[in-house]
Structure 1
Amino acid sequence: MGASSQDVYAKYLQHADYGYPLRMPEPMSTLPEDYRKSGLQIGDVGVVDSNGQFDVLFNIWKHSNNPLHRHGVPKNFQPVPCEDVKSSPNAISAGPIHSYGINQILEPAGDKSRSADYEFESSAPAGAILILPHGAMSAELSSLEQFRQVAIQNAIDWYELAKKRYGVEHLDRSLYLITGFYKSRYWSLASFKNPKNDTGKIQARKHESNPNIYPLQLTFPSDRRHSHSGDDSGNINQTVFIRGFKITFSRWLPHPVVLTATEVETTWSKLVRLFNACLSRLRNVSGGHKPPVATSKL
Structure 2
Amino acid sequence: MRRRRGFPLYVPGPPENLPAEYRRHGVAIGDVGSITPEGIFDFCFNIYLPTYHPINHHDVPESFDPLPPYASEDLISLTYDPGDSVSTSSVRKFISPVEFPGGDFVFSCDAPQGAVLALPHGAHLKKLKYVDRVREYAAAHAESWYKYINGVRGRGLTNGSLYLVTGSEKAHSWGMASFYGTSDQFEVAFKQTLNADSTIRYRWGGMHDHPGPSQHKSYDPSPITNTPLNQTTFIHGLSISLGVGIWGKLFGKVGIREIGESQAESANGNGHMPGAPGSSLFSWSLGLLGGGGFTGGKSYAGENGNVVLSDLPPVVKIFHPAEVINNYLLEKNPDATVVMSHDDDWSGILADDPSTGSQVQNVSEFLDRINDEFDITEKDA
TM-score (norm 1): 0.75
1:166 to 154, 165, 187: 154
Question: Residue 231 of structure 2 is aligned with which of 221, 226, 238?
Answer: 238
Residue 59 of structure 1: how far off its partner (Å):
0.3
Q: 1:293 aligns with which of 318, 326, 338?
A: 338
Q: Which residue of 1 aligns with 2:3?
A: 16
1:156-213 Cα shifts (integer Å, max 9, x gaps): 2111222132343x76881211111111111111222223x25322222113245453
Q: Secondary structure at the match of 2:226?
A: coil
Cα contact 2:21–2:54 (8 A) shared by 1: no
Change in Cα spacing, 1:212 to 1:139, as seen in structure 2 (3 Å) is farther
CA contact (8 A) 1:22 1:241 kept: yes
Letter in 2 for 1:246: S
CA distance in 1 between counterparts of 2:320 and 2:159 reads 18
CA gap 1:231/1:135 in 2 versus in 1, 3 angstroms: closer
What's the secondary structure of 2:339's corresponding residue?
Answer: coil
Q: Deviations over 1:16-62 (max 9, x none)?
A: 21211111111111222122112221111112222222121000001
Report how many aligned residue pairs link the two structures: 259
Q: Identify the residue that residue 88 of structure 1 maps to in structure 2.
A: 77
Q: What residue ranges of structure 2 are gaps of 5+ in the alignment?
A: 243-254, 257-272, 276-318, 346-381
Query: What CA deviation, in whole Å up to 9, does each residue of 1:210-257 have, x standing for no partner?
Result: 545343553114243334446413431111111111224644469xxx
SS in 2 for 1:100: coil
- Tell me what 2:331 maps to: 275
Equivalences for 1:111-190 in 2 at 5 Å?
Answer: 117-163=104-150, 164-168=152-156, 174-190=161-177
C-alpha separation in 2, matches of 1:128 and 1:63: 39
SS in 1 for 2:240: strand
Rounded to whole Å, the distance in 2 between the matches of 1:276 and 1:89 is 37
Counterpart of 1:220 (choices 207, 213, 238) is 213
Equivalent residues of 2:240, 2:340 under 8 A apart: no
| Root-mean-square deviation (Å) | 3.1
* Distance (whole Å) between structure 2 residues aligned to residue 227 and residue 48 of structure 1: 24
3-state DSSP class of the match of 2:141?
A: helix
1:252-271 counterparts in 2 under 5 A? 252=273, 264=321
Structure 2 distance, partners of 1:193, 1:166, is 34
Larger RCO of the pair (alpha carbons < 8 Å, separation 6+): 1
- Report if the CA contact (8 A) 2:326-2:340 is conserved: no
- TM-superposed deviation, 1:265: 5.4
Q: Which residue identity is paired with 2:36?
A: D
CA 1:130/1:173 → structure 2, altered by over 3 Å: closer, same or farther? farther
**Rounded Cα–Cα distance in structure 2 between residues aligned with 1:162 and 1:17:** 29
Contact 1:84/1:142 (8 A) holds in 2: no
**Secondary structure in 2 aligned to 1:72?**
coil
Other-structure match for 1:204: 190
Q: Deviations over 1:118-153 (max 9, x none)?
A: 222211422211111121112112321111112222
Counterpart contact for 1:216–1:224, Cα < 8 Å: no
Q: Percent identity?
A: 28
User: Which residue pairs with 1:194 in the alignment?
Assistant: 181
Aligned counterpart for 1:99 among listed residues 74, 83, 88: 88
2: CA distance between counterparts of 1:92 and 1:138?
12
- Name the SS of the counterpart of 1:37 in structure 2: helix
Distance in 1, matches of 2:22 and 2:131, equals 23
- Asked if the contact 1:87/1:137 (under 8 Å) is kept, the reply is no
SS across alignment from 1:68:
coil
Q: In structure 2, how many angstroms separate the alpha carbons of the residues matched to 1:228 and 1:166?
A: 34
TM-score, normalised to structure 2's length? 0.60
In 1, the alpha carbon distance for the partners of 2:228 and 2:114 equals: 30
**CA–CA distance in 2 between the matches of 1:161 and 1:266?**
20
